[in-house]
Amino acid sequence: MVEMEIYGVSFDLVGKMPIVLLKTTDGSRYLPIWIGHPEAAAILMKLQNASTPRPMTHDLFAETLSQLGIRVVCITVTELRENTFYAQITVQQDGQEVEIDSRPSDAIALAIRTDARIYADERVIEESGIEFEGEEGDEGAVPGEPVSLTPDQIEELTSKFKSFLDDVTPEQFAEGEEP
């Protein structure tokens, strides 16, 4: 498993879909995950320390777990299957850990509310990660705080990912090779 941090949330310029961008804590590999608008709003609200008069779903779930004495240990992006990412939330109660299936977007929204660590399986990063070296936007970035990607960075990220998906053969994908 590779520890990740939230690099930022942005939008795909073509489809206007939100993307949460995770970054490895020890390098320059990024994992883009396309998510829904409500989940993007939930992640951005917490990153920007915004509050609502009543608890939103992820806030309610985090508070419920806390009141029940359940601690969110970590979340893990576990696999990419048929263009869908999968994740698990690891919780602990009375010294016993349980893993719960989740969408990555919901798991991330919960992780930032509970200060849980975020991980991704190395295979997921190898299959879907993108490596940027010397990105201007990375200088001075504070882990966990929102970062705006420039339109050029978003376009490059989206283009590289779509190109990879267009060019990779099933055999290369299974072997983890680049096209």
Torsions phi, psi for 116 (to 5 deg): -80, 150
| Sign, Cα dihedral of 166, 172, 174, 178 | negative
- How many structural domains comprise the chain? 1
What per-residue string of b and e applies to 129-153 under the rule 16 or more CB within 10 Å gives b? bbebeebeeeeeeeeeebbebeeeb
Parent domain of 43: 2-175
> For residue 14, what pLDDT is reported?
76
- As given in the structure block, the two tokens for residue 105 are 């977007």
95: left (phi over 0), alpha (psi -120 to 50) or beta: left
Tens digits of residue pLDDT in 56-69: 999 999 999 999 99
C-alpha 13/C-alpha 11 separation (Å) is: 6
Q: What is the DSSP letter of 157?
A: H
Amino acid at 87: A
Q: What is the DSSP letter of 143?
A: T
Torsions phi, psi for 156 (to 5 deg): -65, -45
State how far Cα 28 lies from the chain centre.
Answer: 15
C-alpha 96/C-alpha 98 separation (Å) is: 7
Residues of the chain with pLDDT under 50: 135-147, 172-179
CATH number for 54: 3.10.690.10
Question: SS3 of 97, please?
Answer: strand
Entry pTM: 0.74
**H/E element, 102:** strand 96-102
Tens digits of residue pLDDT in 20-55: 999 999 888 999 999 999 999 999 989 888 888 898
